[in-house]
Amino acid sequence: MSRKLILALALTLSAFVSFTSAVGQTLPPAIQWIPEDAIIVLEVTRPKALLEAFCNDEATAAITALPLYKQQASNPKVQEFFNIISFIETTLDTNWRTAIEKLTGAGITLAVCPEDTVFLIIDAEDEQMLERFHEFFINVARSEAEKKGKYNIVKSKEYDGLTAWTFDGKEAHTIIGKRLVLANKSERLKNILQNRSQTNNASVAANPAYQAAKRTVGTDAVAKVFVNLKPLMGIPQIAKIFNQQNENPLAALAFAGILEATRDSNWLALGLHIEDNTLVFRASVDSKTISATSPAAFALPKKPGEGVFPNLSVPRRIAALSFYRDLHQFYSAKDELFPERTSGLIFFENMMGIFFSGRDLTNEVLAETKPEIRFVVAEQKFDSAIGTPQIQLPAFAVILRLQNPEQFNEVAEEAWQKALGLINFTRGQQAMQGLIIDRTVHGGTKFSMAYFSTSGLDEKNNLEQRFNIRPSLAMPGEYLILSSTDDLARDLIDSLNREMKDKVKPITETHSLVEIDTAQLTSILKANRDIMVRSDMVKKGSTQEEAEAGIDLLITLVKLVGRAKLGLGTHKGLTQALLEIKLNL
C-alpha cells in the first residue's frame, strides 16, 4: 500500500473520529455560550409547551374556522406561503408541527449584545432533520442569490474544526451536533465558538445579576427573559421614557413606583408559565422598596395589611382597575414631582378652587380621600324608550373612599352641581341643549344624575354621541361614585353594598390591579363595527374590503383572549408584576 493511500486513510479516519466526537459530545446549556455582556437574553426552555398551547388540534380548528382565516386563505400571497410550508414538509418527510417540535424541542436561546449583535442558538431533538433542514435552506439561498447574479455569496469556511456558513455575507452560523448557532455578524460567531472551550466565567450564565434574576422566575417557566437594565438606561431615548412622568401628572399618578423601581434596578426578569390554558407572566426587578421619603411613596401601602381593594364586579364589565394612591400625599409632593409646574396643572388647581368654593385642594379636598381608588368600565345597555346613539361608547366610573363621608358629601354634591352648571352655561351660550338634573334613589342611596332629553325626537335609533353620557354622583356609605351613566352608578351601588356587607379586605403587597374582560369588549367592538370601518376608509384611504378585514382582525384577536389580569406590588423587597392571560382558543 502506497504512502499516499495510507496518509489519505489516516486523514479520513482522523476527520471521522473528530466528527463523531463533536456529534456525540454532550453540549453544555446554551446559556453558557452567550457572552457575559449580553443585554437581553430570551430562553425558551420548553418549546413544546408553547406549541401545545397555541398549535393544538382545538386551537388550530378554532382558528381555521374563523371567517377571517377563510377569507385570507384565498389570498395569493398566503397560498404561496402554504405551498412553501408544504414543500418543507415533503422535504423533511413530516408535518409542520412535528418538524417544529423536532427542530426546536430542546430549547431556543436568543441574545442581544452590545454593538448591535444578536446571537441565536437552537437545540434540536433530531440531528438528521436539522441537517436536512439546513441543506434545504442552503439550496434556497443559492437559488435566490443566483437569480440576483450573486454566485459566490453563499459560502462556507472552516473554523476550529467546524464548518461555518453564511447566506448573505453578513450573518454566520454553524451546526454542532444537534445545535444550530447563528450570529448576525460573521466576526461575532467566533465569540460563541470560543466560549465552548472556556470556563463559565466568560459567559452570562456566571453573571451574578443573571443568576439572581433566574431565581425569581422559577424552575417551571416555559420561557424566561433576562434584561441587563444599566446599559439600557444609558440610552437617551429609553432614559427619557422613564423620566417623562415628571412632565405628566397623570403618568406620575398611574405609574408611580413602577418607573422609579425599573430605572433604579440592575436587572429585570420575566418568566412565562402555562397553567390550564392560561398564560402567566411573572416579572421582577431588583430595586428595593421605595423609601417613605421618596416622592413616589404615595403609591405604597403605609401599614401591614394595606393594599388595593379587589376590583368591583358589575354586569357587562369591560375593565376594572384598583389602585393604592394617596392623593393627599401625591399633591403635597407636587413641587418635587413637577419642579416645572405645567400650565395644565395650574389650570386644574384654578378650576378646583371654583368648584370647591375656594377650599385648599391639598388639605381640605384631597385629604378627605383614602388611598383606595377604583375605576370601572362597562358596556351600556340602552333603553329603546330613551334611544340608542349611533356610536355606542362604554360607561365609566371612578370610585373613591372617603375619610369623613358625613362632612364631605355636601361638599362633593355642591362641586358636582357647579360643574354641571358650568357645562349648561357654556352650552347655553352656544344655543345648545343642556343637561337636566334629577335625583333618584337606589339601594338605599339617594343620588344625583343628569341627562340630555330625547323627548320630541322622532328618530331615536341614531342619536348623537353626547347621548352616551348621563353623569351621576352617588355616595353609598363611605364611598363616592362619579359615573358617566346612572345605570352604572346603580350597579356600583349594588356592588359596594355587597362589599360592605361582606367586609371585604384589601389585597396586601399590591398597589395596582387591572382586569379586562374581553367578551364585553368584543361585544362593543361589534356594535361599532360599521362606524369603525367607515372611519378607517376616511382616515386611511382604505377600500371597504381592506377596512373590514382590518377591523375583523382586531375583533378576532380580542376574542381569542378571554380575560387578562395584571397585578403590581412588592414582595420580599422586590418590585414584582403578575400578568395572567386566559386564552379563548
Three-state SS string across 225-258, please?
A: EEEEHHHHHCCHHHHHHHHHHHCCHHHHHHCCCH
User: Cell for 34?
Assistant: 452567550
Considering the domain architecture, whether residues 334 and 470 belong to the same structural domain is answered as: yes
Domain for residue 286, yes or no? no
Domain for residue 489, yes or no? yes
Domain for residue 433, yes or no? yes
Query: Which of 468, 503, 538 lies at the terminal end of a domain, its last residue?
Result: 503
At residue 252, the pLDDT reads 77
Considering the domain architecture, whether residues 51 and 189 belong to the same structural domain is answered as: yes
Considering the domain architecture, whether residues 191 and 337 belong to the same structural domain is answered as: no
In contact, 207 and 286? CB cutoff 8 Å? no
What is the CA angle 510-513-517, rounded to 5?
A: 155
Considering the domain architecture, whether residues 191 and 315 belong to the same structural domain is answered as: no
Considering the domain architecture, whether residues 187 and 315 belong to the same structural domain is answered as: no
Considering the domain architecture, whether residues 499 and 359 belong to the same structural domain is answered as: yes
In contact, 256 and 262? CB cutoff 8 Å? no
pTM for this entry: 0.81
CA nearest to 565, candidates 237, 364, 305, 280: 280
Query: Which of 160, 176, 200 lies at the terminal end of a domain, its last residue?
Result: 200
Domain for residue 225, yes or no? no
416: how many CB neighbours lie within 10 A of its CB?
A: 19
Q: How many CA atoms are closer than 13 Å to the CA of 518, on its beta-carbon side?
A: 16
Percent of the chain with pLDDT over 70: 92
Domain for residue 543, yes or no? no
Considering the domain architecture, whether residues 195 and 329 belong to the same structural domain is answered as: no
208-212: list long-range contacts, CB under 8 Å, 24+ apart.
209/266, 209/267, 209/286, 210/41, 210/267, 212/267, 212/286
Query: Which of 153, 169, 200 lies at the terminal end of a domain, its last residue?
Result: 200
CA nearest to 326, candidates 374, 375, 366: 366
Q: Tell me which residues of the chain have a pLDDT lower than 50.
A: 1-24
Start-to-end CA span in the chain (Å): 69
Domain for residue 227, yes or no? no
Report the alpha-carbon distance of residue 475 to residue 504 in Å, rounded: 18
User: Cell for 220?
Assistant: 417551571
- Tell me the C-alpha to C-alpha distance, in Å, between residue 530 and each of 380, 544, 550: 18, 10, 12
| Amino acid, single-letter form, for residue 28 | P
The count of domains in the chain is 2
Q: Residue holding cell 436536512?
A: 132
pLDDT, tens digit, for every residue of 35-61? 989 999 999 999 999 888 888 787 788
Strand partners, 505: none
- At 439, give phi and psi (nearest 5°): -125, 140
Domain for residue 186, yes or no? yes
Domain for residue 437, yes or no? yes
396: how many CB neighbours lie within 10 A of its CB?
A: 16
Considering the domain architecture, whether residues 347 and 483 belong to the same structural domain is answered as: yes
DSSP count for the chain of H helices, then E strands = 21, 22
pLDDT, tens digit, for every residue of 409-420? 999 999 999 999
Report the alpha-carbon distance of residue 535 to residue 529 in Å, rounded: 10
DSSP letter at 389?
Answer: B
Query: What are the start-end ranges of the E strands in 412-528?
Result: 436-442, 445-451, 472-474, 479-483, 507-508, 510-517
Q: Give the residue numbers spanning the domain of 112.
A: 45-200
In contact, 172 and 186? CB cutoff 8 Å? yes
